[in-house]
Structure 1
Amino acid sequence: MINKKRPGFLCIVLLFLVADFYCYGNNKAIAKWHKKELTFVSHKSYSNPVYEVDFFGVEFFSPSGERFVSRGFWDGENTWKVRFMPNQTGKWRFTTICSDDSNLSLNQIEGSFQCTRNRSTHDIYQRGALLHPAGSYHLEHDDGKPFLYIGCTAWNGGLYSTPEEWDLYLSNRKKHGYSVIQLVTTQWRGALHNAENETAFTGTERIMVNPSFFKRMDERIDRINAYGLVAAPVMLWAWGDMSPGVSLPERAAIKLAEYILARYDANHVIWNLGGDGHYLDEHEKRWKKIGREVFGKNNHQRLVTLHPRGLSWYGSAYNDEKWLNIISYQTGHANSQTVIRWKTQGPVATTWMNLSPRPIIDTEPVYENGNNADEVRKSAYWSIFAAPVAGVSYGSHTLWPWLRKGDKPINHGEKEPSSITWYDALFHEGSIQIGYLASFFRNIDWWKLFPANHLLKEQPGLLNHARWQSVLASDNKAFILVYLPVQEAVKLNLPQTKSYGAKWFDTTNNKFLKASPEQHSDVLEYHSPVESDAILMLFKKN
């Protein structure tokens, strides 16, 4: 047995630690709101590090004295890393923490680095990480600027894309006003492995993570942020026996989620703990426990949501879950009567005001197939008008699985080889028109708008679901939006005609048109000049 009390042994250990510290750039400066990575080499090996080292991380102290703790992760062989996003310029100090306190190369290592002013032009770096302000229904940057969630669904993008494809995709999404990229971070029912035929983990009762798999994902998530976009990674897809949210028992699922948290919490991300899951009834206890363990007991910097299966509303059941910051929902892939009634008259529209304030976002409305842009567009607008405005997502049947010509999606029914590729989907009409939606809302104070269907004198949607009109208004009704899914008239209980200016927004062609009112006693009536769906904008004159 080695006598660790011998001075010679301690000197050798100290020499290794000092060499590691400077060799791996742990003291290197980093810009504010960027990811700082610390690297350590363990002089002790573990057969399954995820279990044998229950916790490894770093305690950070900011220049102003704030304390943060970040979980670290094993990155293959004897390499361990900790990632952290500093929120202040100046000198930061840190000390490592390891549950195996006998490991002198991972435990109680001290150091410091400088955080410098950020020179990036992107909002995520200039304005800071995303927050959910208490009592609000929207997201905003650290400096208080509201953030509109406009998501694009690329579930398999991180798993299958080449670096060149990924850059092409991200530059296009940025150009068209998208702000969030939704992707899966492990094998799941839609991708049994990545392009290199690797999986994120093996085993069930006791998993073994594969750092090589995640190094590909590191590159894809870093590139999302490099374009000024926010990543929305799914940790535990929860539909299909081959998906980790289903196949793994609670303890293994928590271990996997903690590992993913450690790798990407220093990126600009919004966490999807589960994907396509059923989080109620007999599954509710399991998912609440996983959420509380992963996010309740671990220090983390980023926001959290759950992506559920279609027409599933967990908002009420999870209202007291402190770790949950955003309520996501999914309305399926067709504007059927059932779906439209559910999103316009169901739990989203009727219960949001009774819950603790959180952003409420449809992260999977109707998917585009190349010839259903009207359906895609209407689905998105009905969703964004159903609750206080926070955002909405877009998806395509060829984009989410990252199909190349002749490919078929995996485990999603019998499909013919696709003649439409992921790249083609970027230029579909619906994909472009969601960009129009993003631009329209970003040019108004969207975070001040709340559902106000009571302003309608008549609701055509009660007779025909496809004619459902939706209203948003500011508290003082100084600004009002009315969404008309078809060309017809809208009647509003607004007696003061002369106090409002008005115009129409053509959602298909991204154009504004004049609006002329008709006054009938205490009712204000407008007839849409747009052949498809449109938005009537009313604003009080000064």
Structure 2
Amino acid sequence: MRYIMQNCIFEFSFESEKDYSDPFNDVEVSVIFTDPDGKEKTVPAFWDGGNIWRVRYASPKIGRHTFRTVSSDPSNSSLNNQKGELEVVPYEGNNPLFKHGPIRISEDRRHLEHIDGTPFFWLGDTWYMGLCKRLSWPEDFQILTEDRVEKGFSVIQIVAGLYPDMPAFDPRGANEAGFPWEEDYSRINPSYFDMADLRISWLVRSGLVPCIFGCWGYYLPWMGIERMKKHWRYLVARYSAFPVVWCLAGEYDMPYYLSKDKEKDREFQREGWIEVGRYLR
């Protein structure tokens, strides 16, 4: 039996005994968790390089939770129908994000609150480039985090690798492990997100809510809708267990600054982001 405190992150890895020529694109893995009340929640797993997939899960519900895996390749028994259980126990620390849980819109739709009903005041700071090496890890990132905590900020707005104000694969957008995607958008770069994990985890550990922008809107014509869905599925798999807030895209219908047909791109982005948003819901 594995034990995890409520609202904290449980992570479990699965290693495929079957080799794939292109694991990121060849197979998808999800995990169905069942809480003590019998309510099911399907959580996507993420490919973490090689033959490794990982799942992250958090719950405010104290008690025994069970899980089983579902793979798009049902013949792979090392990824499909793997079963387990964990026990969620009361949180004993002082971090408000774990003590009170992630934030949501209140029932009266007039303010924000934690899932236990504790009011939450959104005071955000914008670090759009915070996951790249412009803000070095750990020195600059941790110094800035400490400063914002001391000043009373509660939210950090940050972009998940596909940044504004620059073209795709501009060297300024790399972190210590390179870019988030290979340069033809054929597959994700898990090592980029390993470095992003350190930063996101530090914000949460410091009591700050990451507001994660999936990307800037003008990346959609470059990547295409199906690639963008895979990008977003990966982000949800990697970070939905954290107490985060999501932003679909920054300036979703603004074409790239040097676009040769801005009206065409704007229309594509408007329709395309609606489709991506529906996919995520």
TM-score (norm 1): 0.47
- Give the equivalent residue in structure 1 for 2:160: 185
Which one of the candidate residues 201, 221, 225 is aligned to 1:250? 225
Structure 1 counterpart of 2:182, which letter? T
Shift of 1:261: 1.3
Matches within 5 A, 1:259-298: 259-278=234-253, 281-293=267-279, 295-296=280-281
* 1:465-484 matches, cutoff 5 A: none
Please name the residue that 1:100 is paired with.
73
Of residues 33, 36, 54 in structure 2, which corresponds to 1:60?
A: 33
| CA distance in structure 1 between the partners assigned to 2:98 and 2:40 by the alignment | 21
Higher relative contact order (CA 8 A, sep 6+): 2
> For the residues of structure 1 that align with 2:226 and 2:131, how far apart are their CA atoms?
26
Judged with a 3 Å threshold, the aligned counterparts in structure 2 of structure 1 residues 209 and 163 are, in CA distance, closer, same or farther, namely: same
Q: Distance in 2 between matches of 1:103 and 1:246?
A: 35
In structure 2, what residue type is equivalent to 1:61?
T
Q: Residue 144 of structure 1: SS of its match in structure 2? A: coil
* Rounded Cα–Cα distance in structure 1 between residues aligned with 2:194 and 2:224: 25
- Name the CA distance, whole Å, in 2 between partners of 1:207 and 1:142: 38
CA distance in 2, matches of 1:77, 1:181: 32
Distance 1:184 1:245 in 2: 15
> Which amino acid is the alignment partner of residue 198 of structure 1?
G
| In structure 2, distance between residues paired with 1:159 and 1:149 | 24
Please, which of 36, 43, 47 is the counterpart of residue 17 of structure 2? 43
Conserved? CA contact 1:91–1:112, under 8 Å: yes
Aligned equivalent of 2:179, options 181, 199, 205: 199
Question: For residues 74 and 252 of structure 1, what CA distance do their matches in structure 2 show?
Answer: 15
3-state DSSP class of the match of 1:237? Answer: coil
* 2:56 equivalent in structure 1: 83
Stretches of structure 2 that go unaligned for 5 or more consecutive residues are: 255-265
Shift, 1:282, TM fit? 4.9
1:95-174 matched pairs, under 5 angstroms? 95-160=68-133, 161-174=136-149
Task: Give the length in aligned residue pairs.
Answer: 263
Which whole-Å CA distance do the structure 1 matches of 2:63 and 2:225 have between them?
41
CA deviation profile, 1:209-246 (whole Å, cap 9, x unmatched): 1101110001100111001110011112124xxxx334
Task: Tell me if structure 2 keeps the 8 A contact 1:38–1:83.
Answer: yes
- Give the C-alpha shift of residue 67 in structure 1: 1.2
Distance 1:188 1:47 in 2: 30
Q: Which of structures 1 and 2 has the bigger CA Rg?
A: 1
| Unaligned stretches of 5+ residues in structure 1 | 1-26, 297-542
Q: What is the CA deviation profile of residues 183-225 of structure 1, one whole-angstrom value per residue up to 9, with x for unaligned ones? A: 1111434473323260111244x62111011100011001110
Whether contact under 8 Å (2:124, 2:154) holds in the other structure is yes
Could you say which residue in structure 2 is the equivalent of 1:29?
3
Distance 1:91 1:67 in 2: 13
Tell me the amino acid that sits aligned with residue 156 of structure 2: I
Shift of 1:96: 0.8
Task: Name the amino acid aligned to 2:181.
Answer: F
Match in the other structure for 1:217: 196
Q: How big is the alpha-carbon RMSD for the aligned residues of Structure 1 and Structure 2?
A: 1.8
- Rounded to whole Å, the distance in 1 between the matches of 2:251 and 2:22 is 30
SS state at 1:83 partner: strand
Question: In 2, distance between residues paired with 1:112 and 1:250?
Answer: 36
Give the structure 1 partner of residue 257 of structure 2: none
Cα shift readout 1:354-375 (whole Å, capped 9, x = no counterpart):
xxxxxxxxxxxxxxxxxxxxxx
Instruction: Please say if 1:233 is aligned against 2:212.
Output: yes
Question: Per-residue displacement from partner, 1:377-403 (whole Å, max 9, x unpaired)?
Answer: xxxxxxxxxxxxxxxxxxxxxxxxxxx
Identity %: 30
Query: 1:197 & 1:90 partners in 2: Cα distance?
Result: 38
Shift of 1:28: 2.8
Query: What secondary structure sits across from 1:208 in the alignment?
Result: coil
Structure 1 residues 499-518: aligned runs within 5 Å: none
2:205 corresponds to which letter in structure 1? A
1:409-488 to structure 2, matched below 5 A, reads none
SS of equivalent residue, structure 2 residue 152: coil
Counterpart in the other structure of 1:515: none
Q: Deviations over 1:82-136 (max 9, x none)?
A: 1111221121111111111011001001111111111221221111111123441
**1:155: how far off?**
1.1
Contact 1:236/1:253 (<8 A) preserved = no
Between the aligned partners of 2:221 and 2:95, the Cα distance in structure 1 is 37
CA contact (8 A) 1:159 1:185 kept: no
Cα deviation, 1:157-197, whole Å, max 9, x if unaligned, reads: 22122212222111111111111111111143447332326
Change (3 A) 1:57 1:275: same
Show the 5 A alignment for 1:337-416. Answer: none
CA distance in 1, matches of 2:80, 2:104: 32
SS at match of 1:236: coil
The answer to whether the Cα contact below 8 Å between 1:72 and 1:80 also exists between their aligned partners in 2 is yes
Q: Residue 392 of structure 1 corresponds to which residue in structure 2?
A: none
* Structure 1 Cα separation of the partners of residues 220 and 194 of structure 2: 21
In 1, are the aligned partners of 2:32 and 2:70 still within 8 Å (CA)?
Answer: yes
